A and B are shown apart, each in its own frame.
Chain A
Amino acid sequence: EVQLVESGGGLVQPGGSLRLSCAASGFIFTNYGMNWVRQAPGKGLEWVSYISINSGTIYYADSVKGRFTISRDNAKNSLYLQMNSLRAEDTAIYYCVRGIPSMDVWGKGTTVTVSS
């Protein structure tokens, strides 16, 4: 079964850091670019970041550029998102998502809450 499972979410104070992980299974991880997409409570979807197969191409949304870092470990079939200088507006469900230009496999998400 094709699956993406996120972990690492939680409650963090403003200005703090958090590292999200995504474990991929059921498909050849090295064949796909990967994304993080987030959804604030009661809001729509916001694409956050993309990383290509070999990590040679990386994109960020302007809202997270300079604060978030996407990475992957193909040997471990894993995707990561290092989030620094977190703000209240980063509070959201963070989804690990396969593919570009369309995103065909989504994880269930991990919740990040930034609050004092």
Chain B
Amino acid sequence: EIVLTQSPGTLSLSPGERATLSCRASQSVSSSYLAWYQQKPGQAPRLLIYGASSRATGIPDRFSGSGSGTDFTLTISRLEPEDFAVYYCQQYDGSALLTFGPGTKVDIK
């Protein structure tokens, strides 16, 4: 089973600042099978990035994804008030398992 580790656990930043979130896999993940989600309190998660770097429909271009192999990054170029949330990475191993990382909480400094 591929285990995803996200860092940091919590990121405290101010609006307008840049956020860099890391997702590391225990073994290589196909870039096609790496996604990022945003979840706000009391809401279902929302797909932000698929295929490691493609933005989902309606996602602002301040969100970007990068990486390959075992190291992936979600970057929010300039934080807006509505971006303070929990972010999860997720992988599919191509056979029978999907797993999520434990999440990174981005909160207001």
The answer for the CA separation of A23 and B99 in the assembled complex, in Å, is 24
Is residue B62 contacting chain A, with contact meaning CB distance below 8 A? no
Interface residue from B1, B39, B90 paired with A103 (Cβ < 8 Å) = B90
Measured between beta carbons, the chain A residues less than 8 angstroms from B33 are 101-102
The answer for the CA separation of A102 and B1 in the assembled complex, in Å, is 18
Check B98–A35 contact: CB distance below 8 A.
Answer: yes
Interface size (B, Cβ < 8 Å)? 27
What residue in chain B is nearest A108 (Cβ atoms)? Answer: B44
Q: Decide: A47 near B96, CB < 8 A? Known: A103-B35, A106-B44.
A: no
Q: Decide: A47 near B100, CB < 8 A? Known: A100-B92, A103-B90.
A: yes
What residue in chain B is nearest A61 (Cβ atoms)? Answer: B97
Extra contacts, 10 of them, besides A50-B98, A102-B50, A106-B46 (Cβ < 8 A), are: A44-B102, A45-B100, A47-B90, A95-B44, A95-B45, A101-B32, A101-B33, A101-B91, A102-B92, A106-B45
